Amino acid sequence: MTEVSVAKEDLAAIDELVALKSVNKHFGALHVLQDIDLTIARGEVVVVIGPSGSGKSTLCRTINRLETIDSGTITIDGRALPQEGKELARLRADVGMVFQSFNLFAHKTVLENVMLGQVKVRKADKKQAEEKARALLDRVGVGSQADKYPAQLSGGQQQRVAIARALAMDPKVMLFDEPTSALDPEMINEVLEVMQQLARDGMTMIVVTHEMGFARSAANRVVFMADGRIVEQATPDQFFSNPSSDRAKDFLSKILHH
């Protein structure tokens, strides 16, 4: 019996892709991340939810070092986050990020947007980069828009291009920071469907979102944050049907009954 449990733990340690240990972050006097411990296994989909100002987006941004941390450690695939320079650029390429705003280059076509990182950071040959970009644009359902500029696309299409651009780097993990919150309601589902498919394909994902339907259907684990802390973590079934903390109960009663 004990032998099995040890083996399982070893397996978990080997398959730990992202690990935050005792992470703290302040913005001035505000303690936005308080002693965060969180590990994400390879292939796991973790959805982070919680009230506004709970630290969810900051958590997401520290994982690819868009925000520095004051103390603690963050490792990706066993390697500590580098401070800056080439190492950091390489590591960032392993961590795909999709934001609220699409952050596409307005003066480049959709195709060029998806090719750029491959050529500049991954040093891919242009022809290969283009083939891959077209395949990914097809995969997210905007292949026919390849030669247009971002401004000619709807918000939902632009966000799907942003997902394709992140995927083009063959990231080990994808971070989504409220990827649908800037979209019109009818566009939200087309983006969530792409994310659902990625989850089914085994992509490791950390998703900050207000979309509870997505959390229920795609997450392996729900992480609930409030006031800069992780208050509880559970499977979606457990969390939505029987949250253990008063903070989570209060949060769910507000969002699920309105």
- Contact between 64 and 92 under an 8 Å Cβ cutoff? The reply is yes
- Contact between 214 and 192 under an 8 Å Cβ cutoff? The reply is yes
What is the average per-residue pLDDT within 211-218?
Answer: 94
State percent of the chain over pLDDT 90. 78
Measured between alpha carbons, how far apart are the two ends of the chain, in Å? 47
In 52-178, which ranges are E strands? 71-76, 79-80, 95-98, 173-177
Q: 14-44, pLDDT tens digit by residue?
A: 589 999 999 999 999 999 999 999 999 999 9
31 - beta bridge partners?
Answer: 26
At 207, list the tokens. 């998703």
Give the Cα separation of 92 and 257 in Å (integer): 39
| DSSP 8-state code for residue 143 | G
Reported pTM:
0.90
What is the average per-residue pLDDT within 70-77?
Answer: 93
- Contact between 234 and 243 under an 8 Å Cβ cutoff? The reply is yes
- State how many domains the chain has: 1
Q: 99-146, pLDDT tens digit by residue?
A: 988 889 999 999 999 999 888 888 889 999 999 999 999 999 999 999
Give the Cα separation of 198 and 124 in Å (integer): 23
With 90 as the cut, is the pLDDT of residue 59 above it?
yes
Q: Domain of 13?
A: 2-256
Residue 234: CATH number of its domain:
3.40.50.300
